[in-house]
Structure formats: C-alpha cells, structure tokens
Amino acid sequence: MKQYSKEYKRTKYTSRQRRRMWGYLRPKEIPIVDNALKNKPRDRVLFKLMYRCGLRVGEVVGEEYEYKVGPKKDIEAHSVLPGIMTDDIDFGGKAININGKGDLKRIVPIPDDVFGDVMYYLHDYRRWGNKNEQLIVRYKDDQPMTTANVRKIWTSLKNRMGLRKDIRVHDLRHTYAMEYLRAGGDPRDLMNLLGHSSLDITMMYVQRMEEESNVKARLIMKKMGENINDDTEKEFELSRGS
C-alpha cells in the first residue's frame, strides 16, 4: 500500500484510545457475520449497509445529535439525521442518497449482493408497496428503529457469534474503511464515501493501516529468527482492533 505518512500529520494515541476509536472486524470475522445474518433479511440489510457501504448507524435508521460549530468549535448546534427512506434508493443506479452529519450529502454505491439483499427484504419479505417510507423498521409495529434498537440487536448477535465483546456497532463502519484501503482504495475517494468533512479524518484510517502493516512485518521477522521484542505479537493484535 502506498505510504501517505508525509501527506498528513500523524497522531499518537494511547492503547485505550486506539481500542475505543479503531475497533473493526478482522477479515476472518466478516464471513462469520455474513453467515449469522443469512436468515435475517432485515438485519442483513441493516448491518451490511454499515460494513459493506460504510454508513453510520444514524444515517441508516435516523438520529438526533448535538455538535459544535464556529471557528473555535464553541457553538452548540442540533441536527437530525432522517435515516434512509425508500425514495433515497436509486434502484436503477444501485446507490443510496445519504443525508449525513453536518448536512453533508453524498451518493453511496451499493454492492450487487447487498442490493440483492435490499430488494429481497423490500419485495419478498416486507411486501413493500412502492411508497416512500422508512427502509428499516421494527418487526413488532413497523415503526422506524432507533439507534438504541440497533445496538441491542448487534449486542445480541455479537454474543451469539462469539465475537470480541469490544466490537461496537459503529465499528462496522470502520470495517468498511479498512477493507476499502486493504483493497487498494484511494483515501480521497474514501473520504467522500464516508462523508467526512476533512481528509485529515480519513487519513487516520491510513495511519492504522500503516501501523498494522509495520507490526505485521516485525512479526514475520520475529518468526524468521530476527531479534524482535517478544511483545510484537501482542502489539499486532492491538493494532488490528482487538
């Protein structure tokens, strides 16, 4: 992967900060999640929109939030993410129009298999009548889900799968970013796909990739008999979001 170190300011994080900010599914864990969602049409769409499309949970189901604005970021503002409505989906172009944080709008492509999941959920499972309505709803009353509902479902699913306890639902979005970069994607394109207001935010994922790659290289050297500190394996696990 191209080294971007000279193009942005590197930030030092404590171990606790890295675990909190940069959790993500490891490549071997993604198929486990895929399999667990196989017979759950709604939840398959819900979570794949995060780890396959990079959406925030609030962008999928809607959320009210507070944030800071102004030159000194000292002015409180309030905003509402509406969540995905069926009219937001471009069925012909296989994309979603997203209203993101800070009122940033973007178009996010939907991978073919995820688009197939969306179509099955709407037409075969939910019996959608082509009206403009909330995409993800609760089973019991067809009302829009809340972010609290989503976190509860994820926690239950995560426990049944035996995944690491510290993987949060927001880390599914991180998973998308890391997989995009692993596949050779450009951070500038990733910034637009994630709806970041600044490239500096996106470049933190690049920093994580570089940290992971460096530690992985040291681990290989250790196994080849080079004189590498015994803490390398533990550091490698931390760098991968454990």
Q: What six digits make up the tokens of 152?
A: 């509860």
Q: How many CA atoms lie within 13 A of 236 on its CB side?
A: 16
In this prediction, residues 77-85 reach a mean pLDDT of 83
pTM higher than 0.85 = no
**Residue-wise pLDDT tens digits, 145-170:** 999 999 999 999 999 999 998 899 99
pLDDT, tens digit (0-9, with 9 covering 90-100), for 213-235: 776 556 555 656 554 455 444 44
Q: Where are the domains of the chain?
A: 1-25+171-183+199-242, 30-162
d(CA 76, CA 69): 6
% of the chain with per-residue pLDDT over 70: 76
**In the chain, where do the E strands start and end?**
63-69, 75-81, 89-90, 95-99, 105-109
CB 177 within 8 A of CB 56: no
User: CATH classification of 30-162, choosing from 1.10.443.10, 1.20.1290.10, 3.40.50.150, 1.10.238.10?
Assistant: 1.10.443.10
Nearest to 84 by CA among 36, 130, 49: 49
Alpha-carbon distance of 190 to 203, in angstroms, equals 9
Q: Is pLDDT at 175 greater than 70 in this prediction?
A: yes
Residue bearing the bigger pLDDT, 72 or 221: 72
